[in-house]
Amino acid sequence: MEVSRRSFLKASAAAAALAAAGVTLRPGSALADEAGVTWGKAPCRFCGTGCGVLVGVRDGRIVATKADPEADVNKGLNCVKGYFLAKVLYGKDRLTTPLIRKNGRLVEASWEEAMTLIASKFKESIDKFGPDSVAIYGSGQWTIFEGYAASKLFKAGIGTNNIEANARLCMASAVTGFMTTFASDEPMGCYDDLDHGNTFFLWGANMAECHPVLFSRMLDNRLNNPEVKIIDFATRRTRTSLMADRYVRFNPQTDLALLNAMAHVIIRDGLHDPKFIENHVVFKKGKEKIGYGLQDKFKFADEPQLIDFQAYREFLKPYTPEHAASLSGVPAQTIVELAHLYADKNRKVVSLWTMGFNQHTRGTWVNNLVYNLHLLTGKICQPGQNPMSLTGQPSACGTTREVGTFTHRLPADMVVSNPEHREKTAKIWGVDPKKIPAKPTYHAVEMFRAFDRGDIKVLWSQVTNPFQSLPNLARYRKGAHKGEGRFLVVSDIYPNRSTELADVVLPSASWVEKEGAFGNAERRTQQWFKMVDPPGDAKNDLWQTMELARRLGYGSLFPYSYPEKEIWEEYRKFGEGQGKELAPYEEYAKHRGLRWPVVNGKETRYRYLEGEDPYVKSGEGIKFYKNKADHYKAVIWARPYEPAPEVPDHQYPFWLCTGRVLEHWHTSTMTGRVPELRRAYPEAVCEIHPDDAHRLGIKHLGKVKVSSRRGSVVLTADLHGRGRSEKGNVFVAFFDEAKLINDLCLDAYCPISGEPDYKKCAVKLEKA
């Protein structure tokens, strides 16, 4: 039965819709409680965990949120950001009306005036310079519907592949890692592995702060099972390190050498699984010394070559524990011990990582190398035995990766360069296949370089804050400031460091002010209905995109009366028969999410595994069925250690690493409006090892000037905080809009994925 998309606007309508859909809420809790609060379900607005939240509405306003005890992901637990979701939408400076820059100032305007101006700029640029002169930059915070509409408009309407998303800055290396190893994006396992595993290797992942609910789930497993071990591989001590059984410090960039050394030990000591390797694995090598993307218009194409097990073994020979120790600082004996722990047949191993691997100039390689350990030992595709890449945004998976809102991608792992994929896409979209360009244009960093150069004339940013979040930030802010020949549109909910540069600012609806769907890191798609109206004249990004399409003459691409549901049913067609199946739209109202592929109404917990994955037939055991080119086998890659493009020297003797903290999310556009979160962590600080600080005369809570070859920022020094940088390293969170630490970062990137490295550049410290 169809569930009304407006079913949460009134308690009676909500009750009827949910009862018809078979949805239940918290036992003993009525939809409209004695306080007159109506409760609805939604996934959390923040990280890619996908926690279930119950949202309480009274008199058209969110008055409370609480963790959903029936949600499989978080089981009734939220992190501190999730507990303050009710306040995120109600900051005093919420954008409520369009703004247009006139005489250097942003002034209020009507939607008609704003959209007329935007459409005229798009038309003018396309007519004069061609379709590739306009672009859209979105987000892993786009709903699935919003990302799908943007991709359809730009690729099938305007006829350009100039669409990118900020997930390129955080998850692109995970995508290329999955694609090059398994020929399909996203994990084979799920969060259930946190309950079933007993050996957890965390690689550069401060889960205690960045994925606290999942980390709590892991700790709960350890409380109930004394055999559980947590190993924290990291370049700084964090709250995660404090709760791990073992903290293993390594020098930045040397995770490549460590992983190869562990593979070396596993094979040397006969700990690998020859039968699994024979049945399920091929070996390959690619290009080496592949560059760092520091030059504009940098191009790279890998050249994979098949090798055999013996050639791979020869490749690993130099990576002895002693050699890896000399590079990484990890003792050789520790490397041997942990390699044996990975391979121990009596232990169930889960590897987890986030930005430490992905924001890496060899991000694809390091993702490949952790898969190597699981493939060598056969510890994959089984409950409690899997590699798991965690995501940082609520729909980095569901929207940007699965919908394919990148220059080179189409939905369901398809790519624009494949004529069969363009043919299928064009048929579903109802356009001539020639309309969809066959050649990718710019990934995110190159897109903003093109805007700086003036090759892109009109840029629309939705649901993200690029002029705070990009690396080597000063270059791109100056590019936006150039003005002449460039036109910037920003859709957001609050003023930020991107809206201040915009020619037009569009006020957007957020979260439960609209109907939506997100997809999280375990392939779980979750849907929610609109619960409250957005403030003032704010409108959702789906409406904004379709309105531009109408004004540009592409309204026929969106012939929808109920856009969310109709887009969903159209989008589902891409995954049919591809191991990417999604359920009918109304099914998601009945559940706290479903993990794809969803076949015959049943979700899939473990991909590629007989008895779990419907694509694996009886007797096949494990089958990597997406990798047809390699006879349904996964790939073990020979990927070498290569140094970072910029390393500390006499002039700039420290490593700088950037990242997140518990209380704030990304650039704090939302969390910065919550007084409790702001008070808890009011400003970004510079974590310094006490010995380094003492040598430089820097005191705890004193001021320190941090400088790279690209810029400087003055921060408060933190010598005794929750995190502790190792000697020769400093850490700064990037949430603080008053202290743009990304000015200092290098915009080098992985040549395969295009993802920049925010974790490694050289800086100097001076007492300020």
pLDDT at 8: 34
Mean pLDDT computed over 282-297: 98
Mean pLDDT computed over 149-169: 98
Q: Positive or negative, the Cα torsion across 153, 154, 157, 158?
A: positive
Q: Using the structure block, give the residue that is written with the tokens 């080496």.
A: 288
> Which residues 6+ apart lie within 8 Å of 130 measured at CB?
none
Which candidate, 703, 720, 711, places its Cα nearest to that of 762?
Answer: 711
Rounded CA gap, 508 and 492, in Å? 5
Neighbours of 381 (CB within 10 A): 25
Question: How sure is the predictor about 22, in pLDDT bands with cuts at 50, 70 and 90?
Answer: very low
- Catalytic residue (one of 44, 171, 210, 388): 171
Q: Using the structure block, give the residue that is written with the tokens 């109709």.
A: 566
Check if the beta carbon of residue 182 is closer than 8 Å to that of residue 175.
no
Is residue 355 part of the annotated active site? The answer reads: yes
Q: What is the DSSP letter of 756?
A: B
pLDDT at 12: 34
| 29-34 contact pairs (CB < 8 A, 24+) | none
Check if the beta carbon of residue 416 is closer than 8 Å to that of residue 441.
no
Rounded CA gap, 149 and 544, in Å? 10
Rounded CA gap, 557 and 448, in Å? 28
Q: Does position 13 have pLDDT exceeding 50, yes or no?
A: no
332-343 vs 255-268: helix crossing angle, rounded to 10:
60
- Catalytic residue (one of 79, 170, 188, 531): 170
- Catalytic residue (one of 253, 382, 385, 393): 393
Rounded CA gap, 406 and 178, in Å? 16
Cα 353 off chain centre by? 12
Rounded CA gap, 203 and 375, in Å? 17
Which candidate, 263, 259, 449, 261, places its Cα nearest to that of 362?
Answer: 259
Is residue 179 part of the annotated active site? The answer reads: no
Q: Using the structure block, give the residue that is written with the tokens 């924001």.
A: 359
Q: Using the structure block, give the residue that is written with the tokens 């992190």.
A: 79
Q: Positive or negative, the Cα torsion across 16, 22, 24, 29?
A: positive
Q: Does position 27 have pLDDT exceeding 90, yes or no?
A: no
User: Tens digit of pLDDT for each residue in 321-371?
Assistant: 999 999 999 999 999 999 999 999 999 999 999 999 999 999 999 999 999
pLDDT at 33: 74
Percent of the chain at pLDDT above 90?
Answer: 95
pLDDT at 484: 79
pLDDT at 31: 61
Mean pLDDT computed over 560-569: 98
> Which residues 6+ apart lie within 8 Å of 420 measured at CB?
none
Is residue 310 part of the annotated active site? The answer reads: no
Is residue 397 part of the annotated active site? The answer reads: no
Q: Using the structure block, give the residue that is written with the tokens 């398994």.
A: 182
- Catalytic residue (one of 81, 284, 348, 565): 81
User: Tens digit of pLDDT for each residue in 180-198?
Assistant: 999 999 999 999 999 999 9
Rounded CA gap, 432 and 416, in Å? 14
Q: What is the pTM of this model?
A: 0.95
User: Tens digit of pLDDT for each residue in 83-98?
Assistant: 999 999 999 999 999 9
Which candidate, 698, 569, 537, places its Cα nearest to that of 95?
Answer: 537
Label the pairing between strands 712-718 and 685-688.
parallel
Check if the beta carbon of residue 184 is closer than 8 Å to that of residue 623.
no
Average pLDDT, the chain: 95
| 452 token code pair | 């700086």
User: Tens digit of pLDDT for each residue in 86-141?
Assistant: 999 999 999 999 999 999 999 999 999 999 999 999 999 999 999 999 999 999 99
Is residue 243 part of the annotated active site? The answer reads: no
Q: Which residue type is seen at 642?
A: E
Is residue 170 part of the annotated active site? The answer reads: yes
| 477 token code pair | 């802010």
> Exposed, middle or buried by CB within 10 Å (0-12, 13-18, 19+), for 419?
exposed
Which candidate, 76, 85, 91, 77, places its Cα nearest to that of 44?
Answer: 85
pLDDT at 24: 38
CA-based diameter of the chain, in Å? 72
Check if the beta carbon of residue 460 is closer than 8 Å to that of residue 119.
no
Strand, helix or coil for residue 494 = coil
Q: Positive or negative, the Cα torsion across 700, 702, 706, 711?
A: positive
Q: What is the DSSP letter of 614?
A: T
Q: What is the DSSP letter of 347?
A: S
Q: Using the structure block, give the residue that is written with the tokens 């490949």.
A: 368
- Helices (DSSP H) in 378-472: which residue ranges? 419-429, 444-453, 466-469
- Catalytic residue (one of 392, 398, 479, 723): 392
pLDDT at 272: 98
Q: Per residue in 455-475, is it b (16+ CB within 10 Å) or e — as a string? A: bbbbbbbbbbbbbbbbbbbeb
pLDDT at 468: 98
Mean pLDDT computed over 752-762: 98
pLDDT at 612: 98
Q: Using the structure block, give the residue that is written with the tokens 């994929």.
A: 421
Mean pLDDT computed over 712-726: 97
Rounded CA gap, 557 and 559, in Å? 6
pLDDT at 34: 72
Label the pairing between strands 281-285 and 634-638.
parallel
User: 3-state SS of 517-541?
Assistant: EEECCCCEEEEECCCCCCCCCCECH
Check if the beta carbon of residue 730 is closer than 8 Å to that of residue 763.
yes
Q: How many CA atoms lie within 13 A of 60 on its CB side?
A: 3
| 567 token code pair | 């887009």
Mean pLDDT computed over 398-404: 97
- Helices (DSSP H) in 190-248: which residue ranges? 193-196, 207-210, 212-224, 239-243
- C-alpha distance from residue 510 to each of 15, 180, 513 (Å): 24, 35, 5
- Catalytic residue (one of 179, 188, 190, 355): 355
Altogether, the residues listed in the chain come to a count of 768
First to last CA, the chain: 65
